Amino acid sequence: MKKILFLLFIFLSITPLWAAGKSDDSDMAEIKLEPVILEPEERFKEEKISPYTKEALKGIIEKEYDLNNPEGMFHNQLRAEFKKGIIKDVGLQANFINNLTETIGDDSEFKFNPQLINVGIKGKFRSEKDGYNLLFDLTPNMHENFFHRLVLDAWVETKRIPHHTLMFGTSRPNVGYEGGMSPYLVPFIARSQTARTFGNIRKTGIRLKGDYKYIDYDIGGFSSDTWYSEFFPGVETDLWVNFKPLANVKEKYGDLNIGGGLEAGGRNSQDFLVASAALRYDYKNFWLRAEYANADGYNGAGGLSDKKAWGYNVTLAYRLTKKLEFLLRYDDFDSDKLRANNNQKEYTAGINYFILGQTARLMLNYVFAQNNSGKDSHKIIAGWQFLL
């Protein structure tokens, strides 16, 4: 059965690429890839400014950036267009997140750790509705196989179905709200305990994402392998549904999102099931996030486990200005429900300073971890994020 599912996955994965590149031999012989740098933005054209001058850089700094859409600072400058061939354009982006951690306690330590160094390539095929995405992790890692984690994202997508995106390849599924969130959008330097245990992982498979006014959803079938460590050890299904009841009046009453999801599958001879629910509310300069997750075995960044675990967290934030944001989070997690006095609570206070939205951000977090079965700890973490 596994072999049949794997062959079906391979067939579906290569179908859009074959369709996009179908041509007779004579046409293929005439194809010449001729990269051409895209024209500068309209403002630069009108003012006859090169996109690489100080004036252009000033324009980038003065631009309004969307906090929910991480965009490379030189997104337009690092794109190239091809006049012929299957690929229409290519975009290059480099992302860097770093943190400086000081642990306060008996065994105090001072660490300078590159948390994330990514280089991505994305673009469109000849059809505007078909695209691709590659993301490579160049972060030094002394505890893992570097090549296993080298390729993070590798997928092709098509938007030929109205309101939908169909994806084939390796991507980050929505195992929980924050567990499926891009690292460039996570409000604190570290994810919540449920997110970094149950989710925050890449898997290879097929996904269908739907986006409507009052509802969006994401459903996928994947190999249960993680980090390219095994060859098709099992199958899992991930589902996330999000309801937006105030979509028609959100300008007046705020933006409310109520979501929930399931991750279910098996890896080798072990089954796992994770159920999640989340609430998000944004009103003017205030926002709230709350999430609950319960696992009967899991297959996330915390590794494959048969433990029964659960946790929840609540985050409150207020944007004092467009650039300055204050956050508070309470995070409670039980890593093994069959053991008594096993909870760990984390109390986090944070400050985000958005120089250029999520494109350039400075972060400062204080974390107090209260461990029922071990020592309590205090951490001060400073971080910075740049997307070029």
Query: Does the residue 53 lie in any domain?
Result: no
Residue closest to 367 by CA, chosen among 376, 379, 375: 379
Q: Which residues of 179-201 are buried (b: 16+ CB within 10 A; e: fewer)?
A: bbbebbebbbbbbbbbbbbbbbb
Query: Does the residue 40 lie in any domain?
Result: no
According to the model, what pLDDT value does residue 121 have? 93
According to the model, what pLDDT value does residue 31 have? 38
Query: Does the residue 184 lie in any domain?
Result: yes
Domain boundaries, position 15: 2-31+64-387
- The answer to whether 206 and 170 are in contact (CB under 8 A) is no
Q: What is the mean pLDDT of the chain?
A: 85
Number of domains in the chain: 1
Angle at CA of residue 124, ends 122 and 125, nearest 5°: 130
Query: Does the residue 38 lie in any domain?
Result: no
Rounded to whole angstroms, how far apart are CA atoms 354 and 350?
13
Residue closest to 100 by CA, chosen among 186, 184, 189: 189
Query: Does the residue 46 lie in any domain?
Result: no
- Per-residue pLDDT reduced to its tens digit, 206-236: 999 999 999 999 999 999 998 888 889 999 9
Query: Does the residue 24 lie in any domain?
Result: yes
Q: Residue 137 belongs to a domain with what CATH number?
A: 2.40.160.10
Q: What is the pTM of this model?
A: 0.82
For residue 253, the tally of other CB atoms under 10 A from its CB is 12
Low-confidence ranges of the chain (pLDDT < 70): 1-59, 104-112, 142
According to the model, what pLDDT value does residue 111 have? 65
